Amino acid sequence: MAHTLTADGQIAVATLGHSKPHLVTTTLAVEAMHCGHCLRTVETALAEVPGVQSARVNLSARRVAILAETATTSPETFVAALASRGFKASILAPQVQAPAADRGADLLRRLGVAGFAAANIMLLSVSVWSGHGGDMAASQQSAFHWLSALIALPAVAYAGKPFFASARQALSAGRLNMDVPISLGVTLATAMSLFQTFRESEQVYFDAAVTLLFFLLLGRVLDQNVRVRAASAAENLLGRRTVTATRISSDGSRGAIAIMDITPGMKLQIAAGEQIPVDGLLLAASASLDDSIVTGESAPRFAVAGDAVHAGAIALSGPFSIEAAAAADDSLISQIARLMQTAEQARGRYVRLADRAAQIYAPAVHILGALTFLGWMIAGAGWEAALTAAIAVLIITCPCALALAVPVVQVVATSRLFRDGIVLKAADALERLAEVDTVVLDKTGTLTRGRPELSAAAELSDAIVSRAAGLALGSRHPYALAVVREAERRRIEPLPLADVRESAGAGLEATHDGRTLRLGSSTFCRVQREQDAGASLWFADGDTAPVVLHVSDVLRSDAVATVATLARDGYAVELLSGDAGPSVESTAEAAGILRWSAQQRPEQKIERIHALAGAGHRVLMVGDGLNDAPALAAGHAAVSPSSAADISQMAADAVFQGERLKPVITCLRVAKAAQRRALENFAIAIGYNALFVPLAMAGRVTPLIAAIAMSVSSIAVTLNALRLARMTTDVAP
């Protein structure tokens, strides 16, 4: 079997010595793929494409690998097939590797084994406790103890491996962590129980050891499930770069070239709908570009010869040519990816309160256990009694409640947020959200709906809407789509037009009944200077006076109330946007935001966030565009709407659904309440230890009672966390 890399990013698979079809594997990144139904829809859509041998979806990474014949298929065919089912897809470069498997699945398996073993051993223990004495009862008791040992030994070995491995690593490095006393307590309890089983003693604590592991693994699973992510946001961003480009040689010929081979000075041809591969300068007279990757603005940009164009921008008109100004690794999209990686690494240095407490807690547990053993030995109680008391101390001081204090709050808070359509992604997001004192909002798609609409449309007659919609059907411009949506809303049939022509950056025109219809800018529609009110869209029907179509990106329905509530809750609010100044100013004024900045590039947004951080502020960044992703990662915390670009959702700590902005308030209030519950849980764990540790050291607590007491403390912190489920987060009107 031989593998070769094709020019379009596919991996060719050729079978040597056979005449079988030439197959290639293509990997696509698929947006908005969230569930099993999506998985089946994607695989079914691709399986229906002629020549496809197989299609396998990686749901966690939102990728699909397609094995197909090169003679009958192309990557564009797959993208089109998914688009017909409502999924936007893009080709991933072959060098982008699949993300690592979620380690939480391994912990979940170990949790299942511990739970199953604990339940069965507890049943056997209940049978022993309910015995009535006698020789027959003694033999049954011994049999049940041996059955418990047969269940417990493999369960402890398998379920306890994460703790044993962590403890061994810590000890080999000459330090202590929370897993050292856990491992010691479980090992001693298991070994002591096995010894007592050989002696046919009643003091057997297999149930205590396995139950302890179950509760500890539960905490570890809760923590891991929200902390480990399947893929790197920066990696997926780089993977979405176009793989090849069309080079214009000195003799005028065209040929494909890998983007990694592009050097400054090369001339490249860009077709309509293609992604610009590298940063460069426009050589054509004009071009219309979807430049939202740079500015986040929904309106396309009209560029003229000599203007800079950026990698990742989409050509809305074409074909045209550009001159490369930078290599692929130096392009804007690569810079955004590097900013993402830097911000993510900075975030990874966040140390949780429980981890800091472990630095003191772990050695204290060992000291107490050792003092207990020595004290009983000095008192002449014998090694068995001394060891039993020491084991009880290790178990009762085992940091189960401490380990659950934060994860159980996270789970309840996550459920509470999910009830309001908010998905929490990062494990320590609640802690960071609780520390926020400044909220920075993006404009388009965040503070506003991100979808231009016609305002004052009731003033337009049905005939004007019909003609304008007929023209608008010939373009994908956001303003044209707004006209089409207005026609659909009013159930007006667009006028059929066969010869619609689009002038890049100007507008659309067609001929109907001998009259020229135009939809576009004031200049394009020949609006008189004294009539030009600065509107973005006009419609002209022959020689009649042009009609203005007011287009605006309206605020979310509760944006004003949300901003006011943030201010009342003590948060400073800012607006950072890549949009033009007048648009940002009017939006900020309408929303009640006093501080705003316009035309902000990704690095400028990060600079502002860093400046706020340098002044001692903790910033919550709320954004949705691809250009917002680095700022989201750089903020102390980050939130994105579900309509956000996939890269922004991955960079955010929380994603909210729906049209309302209230979830930002909900996130902050639930986070602060969760912080209080977490601190209360730490107090419960400390109080439990203050009560039971002296009893255990005095020999008043057996290892089994210690395990039960430890479980009760875990239940107590869980019940305290459940108080979060009943809290309300109403926003004042």
Q: Is residue 421 exposed (0-12), middle (13-18) or buried (19+ Cβ within 10 Å)?
A: middle
CB 644 within 8 A of CB 445: yes
CB 61 within 8 A of CB 97: no
Q: Is 442 a catalytic residue?
A: yes
Question: For the chain, what's the residue count?
Answer: 733
CB 189 within 8 A of CB 208: yes
Residue 409 CB partners (closer than 8 Å, separation 6+): 430, 674, 677, 678, 681, 721, 724
Q: Running DSSP on this structure, what letter comes out for residue 643?
A: T
Contacts 24+ apart (CB under 8 A), 102-110: 102/60, 102/228, 102/230, 103/224, 103/228, 104/221, 104/224, 104/225, 104/228, 107/162, 107/217, 107/220, 107/221, 107/224, 108/221, 110/158, 110/159, 110/161, 110/162, 110/217
Per annotation, catalytic residue among 223, 279, 442, 628: 442
Would you state the structure tokens that stand for residue 656, as one six-digit string?
A: 């909210």
Whole-angstrom CA distances from 336 to 258, 301, 411, 442, 635 are 21, 20, 32, 17, 15
CB 243 within 8 A of CB 75: no
Q: Running DSSP on this structure, what letter comes out for residue 174?
A: T
301's enclosing H/E stretch is strand 301-304
Its sign, for the CA torsion 709, 713, 714, 716, is positive
| Residue showing tokens 């480009």 | 245
Would you state the structure tokens that stand for residue 459, as one six-digit string?
A: 């003033």
Grouping H, G, I as helix, E, B as strand and the rest as coil, residue 596 is strand
Whole-angstrom CA distances from 232 to 94, 174, 243, 344, 715 are 16, 33, 19, 9, 36
Grouping H, G, I as helix, E, B as strand and the rest as coil, residue 244 is strand
Nearest to 292 by CA among 609, 642, 535, 628: 628
252's enclosing H/E stretch is none
- Looking only at the bridges linking them, the beta strands covering 438-441 and 619-622 are parallel
- Cα–Cα distance, 603 to 634 (Å, whole number): 10
Q: Is residue 356 exposed (0-12), middle (13-18) or buried (19+ Cβ within 10 Å)?
A: exposed
- Cα–Cα distance, 508 to 524 (Å, whole number): 9
Cα end-to-end distance, the chain, whole Å: 67
- Cα–Cα distance, 454 to 478 (Å, whole number): 11
Three-state SS string across 187-240, please?
A: HHHHHHHHHHHHCCCCCCCHHHHHHHHHHHHHHHHHHHHHHCCCCCHHHHHHHC
CB 385 within 8 A of CB 374: no
Residue 359: alpha-carbon gap to chain centroid: 31
The reply to whether omega before 546 is within 30° of 0 (cis) is no
**Positions marked catalytic:** 442
